[in-house]
Each structure stands twice: as C-alpha cells, then as structure tokens.
Amino acid sequence: MNNRQFFIRMVFASMLGGIVALGGYQLVKEDQVRVIQAESQPVRFSNYELDSSAMIVPEGLNFVYAAKAVTPGVVHIRSTFEGTSRMGQGTNQFDEYFRQFFGDPQGGSQPQQRQSMGSGSGVIIGQDGYIATNNHVIENATEIEVLLNDNRTYKAEIVGTDPTTDLALLKIEASGLPFVKVGNSDQVQIGEWVLAVGNPFEFRSTVTAGIISAKGRNINILRNRNNLQIESFLQTDAAVNPGNSGGALVNLRGELVGINTAIATPTGTYAGYSFAVPSNLVDKVLADLKEFGVVQRALLGINIRDVNAQLAEDEDLNVLEGVYVINVNPNSGADDAGIENGDVIIAVQGEKVTKTSELQEKVALNRPGDKVKVTLIRNGKEKTVTATLKNTLGTTTTIASSNNMTIQGGTFADLSKDEKETLKIEGGAKLLNVEAGKWREAGIKAGFIVTAVDKRPILSVEDLSRALTRTNDGSGLLIEGMYEGGEKAYYGIGW
C-alpha cells in the first residue's frame, strides 16, 4: 500500500467515526430532553407576577421640587458659649486641692474666659425673621449667629425656649425671607417619603432622603425634673448627622412635618435611625413662645403607662392597647371630669391613642382652659367624658414670660440669667413684694429667693406653686433660700 492509498483510507475512517458519534449524540440528547420536560417545576422569579406598572416611580415622587423649595429656608446656626479656666492650669482634677492647701503655684492667677463653639441648623418659619431650632443647639449660648443660604449673616435673639420638647424660637432682624410652610404631621403616613435638610458636619444645605419608619416614638432622650417632657417623635431613616439638629424634615410637597432632633447611634454619627419633633407640636409650642414667651402647657393631671399583655392580664383589662391610668391627681382636669384610677384611655378628641407618647402629644396641642373629649374603657365598657385642661399650676389661666405670680400675699418672679450667674445657683423664685399674708407673718422680706421647699428644689415660680399646692394638710413648711447679697436664710411657714 502506497502512501496515497493509506491517506485516503485514514480520511474515510475519520469521516465514518464522526458520523457514528453524531448520530449517537442525537439519540442520547432526545432522551434527555424528554426526561426534563416530563414534569413542570414550580420555580419562578420572585417578581414574576408583579405588575410592571407598580415599579414605575409615580409623577408625584419628585425629590427635586421639595429640595429646591425648602433649601433656601434652612439656615446654619453658630452658637458661642463661654466658660472659665485658670491661666496655665491643666486638666488635673487635683489642681484645686493642691491650691487650697499648698498655695497657687501660678501666683494666684485669675480665672480666664474661654469660648467654645457649637453649630446646628434652623428653619425659617416666617418671612419676618422667626426661626425654629432645637433648644440644645442654643442652650446657654452667649451669642447666636445665623447664616442664611445666600451667605448673609445675622445676630439672633432668643424669643423663648421649651426644654420639655427641645424646641426654641429665634428672631433675626430681616424681612422678605424665604420660609418653609408648616404641614400637618398627623397626616404623615408610615412608609411615606421625606427629606431631611440641614447642615451636618458644616456642610451647607445638605439634603438626604428616607421614609417615615414609625410615629409616636419615645426614646427617653429628654429629661425634666417634673416629668413633663414630651417625646412623640417621628422616626425616619433619612440620614441625619451632627449639625442636622434643628433642621427640617419635609414631605415631598416641601411642607415641614418635623424638626430633626436626635439620632440613635453607637458611634455619634448616623447609624440608621433619626427622630424629629412632629410639626403639629412644633407649631403649637412656637406659637406659645411667640405670643407669651413661655409654653402654655396643658395637662390632664394623671399618671399613666402603656397597656401591654401582662398589664391586661394582671388588671383584668379587656383591651391590649391604650393608656392605663395609674393615678388621678386631686383637683386636676381629669379628676373634675370623673376619670378614675384603672381607666384605659383609647382616644382624645375622637383620635385613637395606643400609647402614652401619643396621649401626651394630643393633650399638649392644647392650652390650659381648653376642653377635650376623652374616650376610655372602664370595667369593659366604653364611655366619653369632657375634661377641662389645666396648667402646671393647677389653674386655667395663661402664664406670662415674666412668670410673676402672687401667692398668699407674696409676689414672686423667676430669676434672670444674670442673677443666677451672680449667685451661682440654677434658679429660684424671687419675692418682689410682700403684703399681708403668710410670708410676712413668717418674717420673710422682699428680695428673698426661695430655692427649696421641704428640701424640694425650686428653680422657678412654677416649681414654687406646684410645691405649695401639693401641701394642703395644714402642716408647716421649711423654706430655704437666700437674699440678693448671697446671705442664706431658713424660715418655717404655716400652710
């Protein structure tokens, strides 16, 4: 066999082998296809049956409009705080101890003024220069500067503050300003888109987006000696960081629905949750500060707690949500209306309340003297009563910013900031004038500052009135305080 014949036979064998292999593959392939298609498998994409139109962003979901509308009305706030330190002294906690016993190694250096700065955000709520912010942004500030979005700067004056809601009202001398329209926070829905506008980390006019995660949230961040703090925050996942405090939380119509106040974080920066004072409460508090200089706080006069499954079982309640009345204060609005211990409040003014924070917010939207309908459950039966709300002094009258009040022949007033700094005390109630009555009978003279009643601290006229109204058993009281020169004095007074 020559080489040519050998080559032809090799080509023929290769072609025959390829034909045989291809035919066998086809037979095997047909069998596999028939096996796989024998039974339909119930497996599909997770969004297979979703209507594709539901995935289209609706026309009203437009962050650009709200951002443009709101940004000019949000300002940057710089607060200056003053403290004292001794020249050349370090931070050693034993320095004062050594100075007292071994003399001052610095030659008796005098305390030196030291300034620190803080910053936050604010919301212009009127074209005449009124600005809303958080109380903690400007508390104890000696100077407040407001920087507008157009780079103009103004010195701001404090119109009033309310630590119980962490709100403050400022005023700058300007007109024709862009402002943010106040919306209705009651209409905000969980899952609704919102924008947070402020100045975090000194970044001007920062806008972040998120949704409302919860309403009526109590995070126990505010503290008040008389337990009058109100925490009914809107919770959102819009990014809020240091410097955002006092800034705007707005809906997509550009309406203010909250003042950004706090964040839940293990690091000090945003970690997923932020909280805002709802705009309805903001509107009421700021209106009070503007008109009276202080908040007209309305109270039902009850001690309360949330209803839960354990409480419902222990107290044999027929409801699993609502606000349980632990105690009713004598002569309070609730007492006058016939509310009793053990009642479960489920609505105020026809609006459902499921927890204490919601009840506190609904009541706080009113002023002393207002009448509210309270729906409650008692012994398994529902009933509605009408309660006349009273102020912290137990009356229905409004309180002026000067907070002057006449009690048993003595006219008292709150201490000014300068007086507190001079006397180095947190507060007190100063006796301005003494007429016939218990104070004169006890030998107390004008100028005396009450700082405690039966060891109970007194920081204001409001505190004094509350302490005295709680004492109605005819027993005597120990009055502690000082005169304007710093001389301390103690008096026993029959009450």
Q: How many CB atoms lie within 10 A of CB 12?
A: 10
- Beta-carbon contacts of 438 under 8 Å, excluding residues fewer than 6 positions away, are 408, 409, 410, 493, 494, 495
* The one catalytic residue among 79, 119, 121, 166: 166
Q: Quick one: how many helices (H) and strands (E) in the chain?
A: 11, 26
Whole-angstrom CA distances from 139 to 15, 152, 162, 168, 347 are 95, 23, 10, 9, 35
Catalytic residue among 76, 79, 121, 136: 136
CA dist 23 and 3 (Å) reads: 31
Please indicate whether residue 136 is annotated as part of the active site. Answer: yes
Name the H helices within 171-269: none
- Binding residue positions: 136, 166, 243-245
| CA quadruple 377, 326, 460, 143: dihedral sign | negative
Contact 453, 429 (CB under 8 A): no
393's CB contacts (< 8 A; 6+ apart) are 399, 405, 462, 465, 466, 469
Helical spans, DSSP H, in 120-267: 135-138
Does residue 283 have an active-site annotation? no
Active site residue 76: no
Which is nearest to 481 in space by CA: 456, 460, 450?
450
For the chain, the first-to-last Cα distance in angstroms comes to 139
* Long-range contacts, 147-151 (Cβ 8 Å, 24+): 147/75, 147/76, 147/77, 147/78, 148/75, 148/177, 149/71, 149/72, 149/73, 149/74, 149/75, 149/178, 149/204, 149/205, 150/72
Active-site position among 232, 245, 279, 465: 245
Instruction: Please say whether the beta carbons of 315 and 299 come within 8 A.
Output: no
Backbone angles phi, psi at 464, to 5 degrees: -60, -45
Residues belonging to the binding site for substrate are 136, 166, 243-245
Rounded CA separation 197/259 (Å): 10
174 Cβ partners below 8 Å, 6+ apart? 128, 129, 152, 154
The catalytic residue positions are 136, 166, 245
